[in-house]
Structure 1
Amino acid sequence: MPPFVPLKATFSICAADVSTGEVGCAVQSKYFAVGAVVPWARAGVGAVATQAAGVAAFGPRVLDSLEAGRLLPDALAEALAGDAGRETRQLGAVAASGASAAHTGADCLHWAGHRVGPGYAVQGNILAGEAVVAGMESAFLATGGSLAERLVAALEAGQAAGGDVRGQQSAAVVVERAGAAAESREGVDRICDLRVDDHPRPIEELRRLLGIHLVWDALRRATAHYEARRWREGAELLRGALARHGESAPLLYDLGCFAALTGARDEALAHIARALALDPALRESARADGDLAALADDPRFRELMA
Structure 2
Amino acid sequence: MTFSIVGRDARTGDLGVAVASKFLAVGALVPFVRGGVGAVATQSYVNPTFGPEGLRLLASGLDAAAVAAHFQASDPGIAQRQFGLVGADGSSVTFTGPDCHAWAGGYAAADVAIQGNILAGPGVVEAMRAAWEAGPRLPLPRRLLAALNAGDAAGGDRRGRQSAALVCAGPGRGYGGLTDDWVNLRADDHAEPCRELARLLDLHDLLFTRPESTRPLTDEELAWLRALLVAQGHATALPGGPWDADTEAAAWALFGTENLEERWVPGGQVDPVALAYLRAQYPTRVG
Deviation at 1:96, TM superposition (A): 1.4
Q: Is the 8 A contact 2:16 2:33 kept in 1?
A: yes
Q: Matches of 1:86 and 1:271 in 2, distance apart?
A: 62
**Tell me, which stretches of 5 or more residues in structure 2 are unaligned?**
239-245, 252-266, 269-283
CA distance 1:271–1:12, shift in 2 (3 Å): farther
> What root-mean-square deviation, in Å, do the aligned CA atoms of Structure 1 and Structure 2 show?
2.7
SS of aligned partner of 2:185: strand
1:25-36 alignment runs, 5 A limit: 25-36=17-28
Q: Under a length normalisation based on structure 2, what TM-score does the superposition of the two structures give?
A: 0.78
Deviation at 1:284, TM superposition (A): 4.2
Cα-to-partner distance string for 1:59-100 (whole Å, 9 max, x where unaligned)? 111111110011211111112323221110001011112111
Q: Under a length normalisation based on structure 1, what TM-score does the superposition of the two structures give?
A: 0.73
**Tell me, which stretches of 5 or more residues in structure 1 are unaligned?**
1-8, 223-232, 236-257, 295-302
Cα-to-partner distance string for 1:223-253 (whole Å, 9 max, x where unaligned)? xxxxxxxxxx751xxxxxxxxxxxxxxxxxx
SS of aligned partner of 1:184: helix
Q: Matches of 1:114 and 1:281 in 2, distance apart?
A: 57
Q: Is the 8 A contact 1:259 1:265 kept in 2?
A: no
SS of aligned partner of 2:3: strand
Q: Which residue of 2 aligns with 1:227?
A: none
Deviation at 1:53, TM superposition (A): 1.2
1:1-306 alignment runs, 5 A limit: 9-143=1-135, 144-180=137-173, 184=176, 187-218=178-209, 221-222=210-211, 234-235=213-214, 259-260=216-217, 264-266=218-220, 268=221, 283-285=232-234, 290-291=247-248, 304-306=285-287
CA distance 1:269–1:207, shift in 2 (3 Å): same
Give the number of equivalent residue pairs.
Answer: 246
Q: Matches of 1:74 and 1:179 in 2, distance apart?
A: 28
Deviation at 1:184, TM superposition (A): 1.7
CA distance 1:283–1:129, shift in 2 (3 Å): same
Q: Which residue of 2 aligns with 1:245?
A: none
Counterpart amino acid of residue 113 in structure 1: G
SS of aligned partner of 1:128: coil
Q: Is the 8 A contact 1:12 1:28 kept in 2?
A: yes
Point out 4+ residue stretches in structure 1 off by more than 6 angstroms: none
Q: Matches of 1:44 and 1:173 in 2, distance apart?
A: 18
Q: Is the 8 A contact 2:8 2:88 kept in 1?
A: yes
- Which has more helix, going by share of residues? 1
Counterpart amino acid of residue 17 in structure 1: D
Q: Is the 8 A contact 2:86 2:92 kept in 1?
A: yes
